Amino acid sequence: MRRRFLISVAFADLAVLAGAMMLGSVVTFSNPVPWMAVETQLRPGGVWPLLGLITLGVGGASWFTARAWSGSAPRPTYGRAITIAATALTTTTVGLFLFREFYFSRPFVGWTMMLFLGGALAHRAFRRRRPWHERMVLVTSEKGLVDDLRTAPHADVEMLLDPGSEDEIAQLSPGTILAIDLRSVLSDRMAQYVSSCTLAGLDVRAMSSVYEEHTGRLPIVHLAEGWELSAPVLRTSPYLPGKRLFDVLAVVLTAPLSLTLAAVLALAVKMGSPGPAVFSQTRVGRGGELFTLYKFRTMIVDAENQGPAFATPDDARLTQVGKWLRRFRVDELPQLWNVLRGDLSLVGPRPEQVPFVRSFSQSIPFYSNRHLVRPGVTGWAQVNYGYADDEADTIDKLTYDLYYVKHMSPWLDLTVLGRSVWTVLSGFGAR
């Protein structure tokens, strides 16, 4: 099902591209066949290099985005359509600059890419109305994990089997996943059934992997020692210099806009209530190191004299301006300075206050593993869960943070940044 979905999306994109080229040729040359429309204008090499560059850009970007789905269930997302279109346009622009002796038409390229993007978004919108499903039979006694999978958009839980059952079990239908909870003790009958499915070449997987792919969370109950997270972090170490370079360049290039906005917000905070515009606080960073985090003040002065506490809806400590800043998450803007200093990355688990870290490290298993990577201005937990009210919420958020720690990659970072835009505009999870 997964492979069929990826192949169908790729072929749909190529079909949309062919149609976009024809319509682009009609608009530009009044002829639906580009190589015939420009027959009298050809330079050496003809129009085929131009068409080849566009196709190469779309095909290469489609392959890259398909590979980026390796850690999660593939979904018809608009962000990937925009990425494919942008990559194809960049590839074509660079190719035409390097090989200027070939024929090219800026209007044709512009219309083709605009029409392709519209078509790619349209067929993804249609697919999202009837999302594909992976049918699965689960062998587990973990009700919480089963409930999470039942609500996942692409998981269709057909049956739940008791690991200790000795009953006769029906044959697994083709195309159905058998997901095994490796923490469970299997009865002889169940172990024989699992072995038979494996020998028959059916799709047998670890339930922890299926859970990660479909929920974007890490099942903490399946962690044993913690090295299951530190080992993947070591494998991603070649990405870290590039991640750091991207952070710095993004902050520097957006500095004119962010500094202007920061000046306006600082003035609003000062006028809204007495006290400094910027609030500083000690937080826990990568490897447990402490650093000073900066943000616009959203609470009254000395709001935490009685000690740190979770923010709540309609928190009496919030100022009127502070409520608005938190609503759109712009109180985090001064943390771009922390990014330049190397305290933060743009994407990573949110840094927490020292008292909370000390408490949670004692009461929540594997909480300290979120400090294996540099914390971020935004993160996978923020775009999926929002704020935490108590320790129970913190545990739920940790499942997302640990997923990020394990699967940190350029594509996951871009996904978080893209979804953060919607989080800011919608005010999702604001406190």
Domain-embedded: residue 36: yes
Give whole-number Cα distances, 107 to 26, 114, 202, in Å.
11, 10, 51
Domain-embedded: residue 246: yes
Mention every residue, 6+ apart, whose C-beta is less than 8 A from residue 370.
349, 398, 401, 402, 405
Rounded CA-CA distance 224/182 in Å is 12
Domain-embedded: residue 221: no
- Quickly state the pLDDT bin for 38 (edges 50, 70, 90): low
295 close to 278: Cβ distance less than 8 angstroms:
yes
Question: How many Cβ atoms from other residues are within 10 Å of residue 242's Cβ?
Answer: 10
Domain-embedded: residue 79: yes
pLDDT score of 40: 43
- Residue 148: CATH number of its domain: 3.40.50
Q: For the residues 29-53, what does the mean pLDDT come to?
A: 64
Domain-embedded: residue 55: yes
Range of the domain at 34: 2-129
Domain-embedded: residue 231: no
Q: Are residues 95 and 170 in the same domain?
A: no
pLDDT score of 195: 93
Rounded CA-CA distance 347/248 in Å is 12
Q: Which amino acid is at 125?
A: A
The 10 Å CB-count burial string (b at 16+, else e) for 172-205 is: beeebbbbbbeebebeeebeebbeebeeeebbbe
| Higher local confidence (pLDDT), 11 or 294 | 294
* Domain end (from 152, 182, 215): 215
Q: How far apart are the first and last CA of the chain?
A: 40
- Quickly state the pLDDT bin for 425 (edges 50, 70, 90): low
* Domain end (from 113, 129, 145): 129
pLDDT score of 78: 81
Q: Are residues 300 and 371 in the same domain?
A: yes
- Quickly state the pLDDT bin for 1 (edges 50, 70, 90): low
pLDDT score of 122: 92
- Quickly state the pLDDT bin for 44 (edges 50, 70, 90): very low
How distant is the alpha carbon of residue 227 from its chain centre? 23
pLDDT score of 49: 76
Domain-embedded: residue 223: no
Mention every residue, 6+ apart, whose C-beta is less than 8 A from residue 251.
258, 336, 339, 340, 346
pLDDT score of 234: 86
pLDDT score of 162: 94
Q: Are residues 207 and 278 in the same domain?
A: no
Q: Are residues 111 and 180 in the same domain?
A: no
High-pLDDT (> 70) share of the chain, %: 88
Whether 247 shows a pLDDT value over 90: the answer reads: yes
Whether 188 shows a pLDDT value over 90: the answer reads: yes
Structurally, the chain folds into a number of domains equal to 3
Domain-embedded: residue 222: no
pLDDT score of 324: 87
Q: Are residues 114 and 6 in the same domain?
A: yes
Q: For the residues 140-153, what does the mean pLDDT come to?
A: 92
| Higher local confidence (pLDDT), 97 or 232 | 232
- Single out the residue of 415, 428, 417 nearest to residue 74, CA to CA: 415
Across all residues in the chain, what is the average pLDDT?
85
Rounded CA-CA distance 362/307 in Å is 19
Which stretch, 7-21, 75-89, 356-370, has highest mean pLDDT?
356-370
Lowest-pLDDT choice from 96-100, 110-114, 306-310, 398-402: 306-310
Please give the model's pTM, rounded to 2 decimal places: 0.80
396 close to 215: Cβ distance less than 8 angstroms:
no
Whether 42 shows a pLDDT value over 50: the answer reads: no
